[in-house]
Structure 1
Amino acid sequence: MINFKTIREGERAAVWNMNGKVKYIDGPKRLWLFRETFENLINYSAEADQYLAVRFQNGDIKHMHGPAAVWLDPVLHAKIEIKPLIPINANEAVVIYQRTNKQEVNRKILQGPAQYMPDPDEWLHRFSWHGADPNNPKQKKPSTLAFTKLRVIPDQMYFDVQDVRTADDALLTVQLMIFFEIIDIERMLDQTHDPVADFINAVTADIIDFAANRPFEKFKQDTDKLNNLEAYNNLIARTKRIGYQVNKVVYRGYEANPKLQAMHDHAIETRTALQLEAETEQQAQELADLKLTREADREKQQRALEQKRTEHDQLMKQLAHQQLIKQNQAEHKQKMEFEQESNTLEQKHLHEKNVERANYLKLMKEMQIDLTQYLVAQYQNPDRLIRIDGTGNDHPQLHLHD
């Protein structure tokens, strides 16, 4: 049989002759086939976040990290698969097992961030732990959590310890929240296959011990102690043994059977009503005390304000009086200074006048003028006349004539 085949550029084909011998031809090429079998080959390519799993006809397996490309050779290869690299975040780790020979297996731990390509003789540890039941989230069910990437950051879980019996046979469900983190992965792998189951068993034992020694009322009074790690000796010891550390346990409350819960709710309502009544009365008393205190403060402030106003008025009057005194003193001083200055001027003027008259009289005396006659002639009419009359035996009489 004769036919023609075209191999395009970028393609590869295998051509089998009638004797079963194969040859590989890369395109572009035009083939003339005579009694030959033509087969297009598939090119498998992996990107940077992928790898190629090549299985050979002899059973060997080879993994090739991307980017890479391999033509499927029907003579050499049985199968080629493109698989994604396993991304590992910074807060994750994977446990890897590697077969060194037919009887020995090594274990190693790879922490992120990384992109992991397993070797053909490697496989990942698969964890299978207790987890929340999808149908009843309050219940923990075995093998619910199945994963290969282990979180190595602090984590938390909710857990309800059921059928907890107090000293007076009250049946309770205690609700908790546990905060924990893994410290030693190797120890965890060696000591336990399910850390969550260990947490559940240990904390259940602690809660049962806590409630068994207390009546229901005492249990309610001591629930604050369930927020302290001292109440969880079994949990602390077990987590330390399996490579974990419990950072905190939070008590979230409790649930009781309907009858006990109804009695408890009624007691709470009664206690709350009494407490509200007491608080209302206390608030009324405090309001009355506040009113009296405010009125007393207001009266005190008013008296203080009136006293300040009186003191201010007195101070203003005193300042006005002092100002008036200063003004009178200034006016008196000014008047005295004016009078003194006037007297000084008048005395000076009189002195000058007397000096002038003395010089005048002196000049007249030098001119040989009788000053007595001059003065008598000048003052013929005296301002005042004094006359004394009297006889020998009679008392003299004084007469004044202006």
Structure 2
Amino acid sequence: MGYKTIRAGQKALIFNELGEGRVVKGPRRIWLQRTETFQLLKVHIASQAQYLEVRDKEGRVTNHSGPCQMYLNPLEHDSIVTRDAMRLTADEMLVVYKQEDDKIERRLLYGPAMFVPSAHEWLHEFQWHGVDSKDKTRWIPNDHTFRKLSAIPGQMYYNVRDVRTNDDVVMRVKLMLFYELSEPEVMLNITHDPIADFINAVCSDVIAFASQLSYAEFHKQTSFLSKKETYPQLCQRAKRIGYDITQVVYRGYHASENTQHLQDAAIETRTQRRINTEIEGEKAKLASFKLNKELSRTAKRQEIQTAKSEHRQEVEKRMQSVEIEKEQRRHAAQLLRDAKDREELMKLEAEAKRQELGFLFQLKELGVDLTHYLVNQNPTKISEELQIVKEE
């Protein structure tokens, strides 16, 4: 009994002695009778990224997108819960189911989006193999539960255990798978756990591949484990459930301790041989390099000597040519001098003959017997001079 104050933004529920209640909204100041009870209502608030899930007394559920607020009225509501809206990035999607009457529809909601389910909608919850937190190559059934389905390419590590060759060597093959969801509707209709399908298919392919080879042959042909053609069952199964296997990467293998010890010893031996071969090859290359350099230097020296010899011969040849030219010029000069001397001599002789002939003509004019005179002077020249006189 007394006054009660209801502040602004508050609501209160007042019950009388008959159990009847009424809601009073503030700001207000009320008088309570002795038989009346007073109860402030709890307010529930949802932001822009939230919604209120309201369940009434009849069991009906409604969702109210934020921003909003609602008071929990015990006369009408059974519960009010604030829940976060589902945020989707551009590479995520949701599988949404909706019931209308007796019909249930399914749709895919692609991001980016903010999803608030209606009262008749619910989300598909996936439960796949999950990777072990302590071993990324070990997968645990039904360990990964989620609602957002990734649309971007994914990858997984997996070790295929108990792989046996045809000579009974048991080993563990390490792989890495790259896959991409291409048809979500097909995946939803065909499988409930694609990872399990991948594991089963890749195990079958690897076991089939190794069973046809001996341990030594397997070691030589491990490069084929990085080719998609080696995994026909994996590729077919992935295509059937709406996925594409983009690549398979072989990461190595691990055999038993004894086999691994023998393999390590063989690898060490081969490595040592390869190192020795490389060392010998480097030595041979060095020797060949030295020989080539020595041959090159010898050839250079020969070229230099040849060039010097040719230069010396050329100099000597030029000197001989110069000497020959000098000798030719001297000879030509001597010939010229001899020719000039002969010409002068002939001129002198001709002048002497003309003088002698003039003298003879003078004697002839004086009445001297030239024949008698000439015979007395030089009997050997009589005939010649007589001939000259006659010609004159």
Aligned residue in 2 for 1:142: 141
Aligned residue in 2 for 1:151: 150
Residues 1:43 and 2:43 aligned together: yes
Question: For the residues of structure 2 that align with 1:308 and 1:189, how far apart are their CA atoms?
Answer: 89
Aligned residue in 2 for 1:258: 257
Give SS of 1:214's match.
Answer: coil
Q: Per-residue deviation at 1:117?
A: 0.9
Q: Per-residue deviation at 1:294?
A: 2.7
Aligned residue in 2 for 1:61: 61
Give SS of 1:240's match.
Answer: helix
Q: Per-residue deviation at 1:280?
A: 0.6
The TM-score, its normalising length taken from structure 2, stands at: 0.74
Question: For the residues of structure 2 that align with 1:89 and 1:72, how far apart are their CA atoms?
Answer: 33
Letter paired with 1:73: N
Aligned residue in 1 for 2:120: 121
Instruction: Please show how residues 84-95 of structure 1 align to structure 2 within 5 Å.
Output: 84-95=84-95
Question: For the residues of structure 1 that align with 2:77 and 2:143, how far apart are their CA atoms?
Answer: 39
Q: Per-residue deviation at 1:309?
A: 10
Question: For the residues of structure 1 that align with 2:71 and 2:96, how far apart are their CA atoms?
Answer: 30
Q: Per-residue deviation at 1:230?
A: 0.8
Aligned residue in 1 for 2:198: 199
CA contact (8 A) 2:92 2:111 kept: yes
Give SS of 1:74's match.
Answer: coil
Give SS of 2:145's match.
Answer: strand
Question: For the residues of structure 1 that align with 2:85 and 2:310, how far apart are their CA atoms?
Answer: 93
Question: For the residues of structure 2 that align with 1:119 and 1:309, how far apart are their CA atoms?
Answer: 105
**Residues 1:299 and 1:99: Cα distance change in structure 2 (over 3 Å):** same
Aligned residue in 2 for 1:384: none
Offset from partner CA, 1:131-169 (integer Å, 9 cap, x none): 223455433221122111111111110111111111111
Question: For the residues of structure 1 that align with 2:27 and 2:300, how far apart are their CA atoms?
Answer: 109
Pick which of 72-81 and 21-30 moved more.
21-30
Name whichever structure is richer in helix by fraction: 2
CA contact (8 A) 2:202 2:233 kept: yes
Question: For the residues of structure 2 that align with 1:193 and 1:305, how far apart are their CA atoms?
Answer: 86
**Residues 1:123 and 1:298: Cα distance change in structure 2 (over 3 Å):** farther
Q: Per-residue deviation at 1:307?
A: 8.5
Question: For the residues of structure 2 that align with 1:215 and 1:38, how far apart are their CA atoms?
Answer: 86
Offset from partner CA, 1:145-201 (integer Å, 9 cap, x none): 211111111111011111111111111111111110011111111111111111111
Aligned residue in 2 for 1:230: 229
Letter paired with 2:91: N
CA contact (8 A) 2:172 2:253 kept: yes
Residues 1:172 and 2:171 aligned together: yes
Show structure 1 runs of 5+ residues with no match: 316-402
Letter paired with 1:117: V
Aligned residue in 2 for 1:72: 72
Aligned residue in 2 for 1:107: 106
Question: For the residues of structure 1 that align with 2:236 and 2:136, how far apart are their CA atoms?
Answer: 27
Letter paired with 2:161: Q
**Residues 1:308 and 1:71: Cα distance change in structure 2 (over 3 Å):** farther
Letter paired with 1:26: K
Aligned residue in 2 for 1:217: 216
Offset from partner CA, 1:265-294 (integer Å, 9 cap, x none): 111111111111111111001011112223
Question: For the residues of structure 2 that align with 1:293 and 1:308, how far apart are their CA atoms?
Answer: 22
Show structure 2 runs of 5+ residues with no match: 315-392
**Residues 1:29 and 1:132: Cα distance change in structure 2 (over 3 Å):** closer
Question: For the residues of structure 2 that align with 1:306 and 1:55, how far apart are their CA atoms?
Answer: 111
Q: Per-residue deviation at 1:97?
A: 1.6
Instruction: Please show how residues 307-346 of structure 1 align to structure 2 within 5 Å.
Output: none
Aligned residue in 2 for 1:182: 181
Question: For the residues of structure 2 that align with 1:311 and 1:73, how far apart are their CA atoms?
Answer: 122
Question: For the residues of structure 2 that align with 1:75 and 1:312, how far apart are their CA atoms?
Answer: 126
Offset from partner CA, 1:20-53 (integer Å, 9 cap, x none): 4433333222222223322212222211000011
**Residues 1:149 and 1:281: Cα distance change in structure 2 (over 3 Å):** same
